[in-house]
Amino acid sequence: MPKFVIISFLILICNLASARIEIKTDTNQIQLRAFSKQKIETFKKDRSFDYLTEPVVPVTLWDKIIQWIYRQIMKLFSNDGIAPYIRYAIFAVFIFVIILQIYRKNFSLIFYKSAKQKNFEYSGNEQTIIGRNFDNEISVALSSQNFRLATRLYYLKMLRKLSDTAIIIWQQNKTNYDYYRELQKTSYKESFARLTFLYEYVWYGQFAIEQNTFNNLQNEFETFFNNINI
């Protein structure tokens, strides 16, 4: 068997040696080309082919406003300078606005207890100002030196006069703050706000009031009445 393999291998070598191998020669001419330096410089100046520099995005006016707001917010939440105090002030205003919205129907509730929780010790008709003789009721209250009740009656009399002169529109379910809003464009606004504050301080707060203090308050009410009658 090994002899047969050796003989076959020798025959194969002899056949390869006797075969003619043809080698083709490349006769094409080689043409050398050079890069155009002008085009290379043109490409270098073209930003479309600049892959090393990041493209510049144009900044609009709106972008500048957003960036400014962002910087201010970042300053506000920093601890530099007066930023913490401004932050606390904004927070306090925010809380105050929420409380004001909750009690907007009766701003006296911010400082005093609800009138429904008080014992007013008064049996008069509390539900209306129509058809009442406030002068007589005030005289009765003053005769017993009930200056707190007299203050309330003066305030209701003021609402009656404002209603009779069509300066406000009185309704049973309205609050003092509602009437204050109706007086925003009148000359009575500031005086009404002051008298409302004093009245609520005395009545809803159930604070004792001396005669001298009531006399001053009475003069303010009378001055207000005179201005309405002018």
Residue type at position 185? K
Nearest 5°: CA angle at 168, between 194 and 173? 90
List pLDDT tens digits, range 102-130: 655 444 444 444 443 343 344 444 557 88
Domain ranges of the chain: 36-102, 117-229
Quick one: which H or E segment has residue 53?
none
Query: How far, in Å, CA of 217 to CA of 215, rounded?
Result: 5
Quick one: which H or E segment has residue 18?
helix 2-18
Mean of the per-residue pLDDT values of the chain: 77
Quick one: which H or E segment has residue 204?
none
Q: Which residue has the higher pLDDT, 47 or 106?
A: 47
Helix (H, G, I), strand (E, B) or coil at 126: coil
Query: How far, in Å, CA of 209 to CA of 131, rounded?
Result: 28
Assess whether pLDDT exceeds 90 at residue 222: yes
Q: Find where tokens 């404002």 sit.
A: 162
Q: Is 166 exposed, middle or buried (0-12, 13-18, 19+ CB in 10 A)?
A: exposed
Assess whether pLDDT exceeds 80 at residue 219: yes
CA torsion through residues 115, 118, 121, 123, sign? positive
Give me the DSSP letters along 85-112: HHHHHHHHHHHHHHHHHHTTT-GGGGTS
Assess whether pLDDT exceeds 80 at residue 45: no
**Nearest Cα to 109, choosing from 176, 209, 192, 194?**
176
Indicate the DSSP class of residue 168: S
pLDDT, average across residues 123-138: 75
List pLDDT tens digits, range 154-177: 999 999 999 999 999 988 888 899
Overall residue count recorded for the chain in this entry = 230
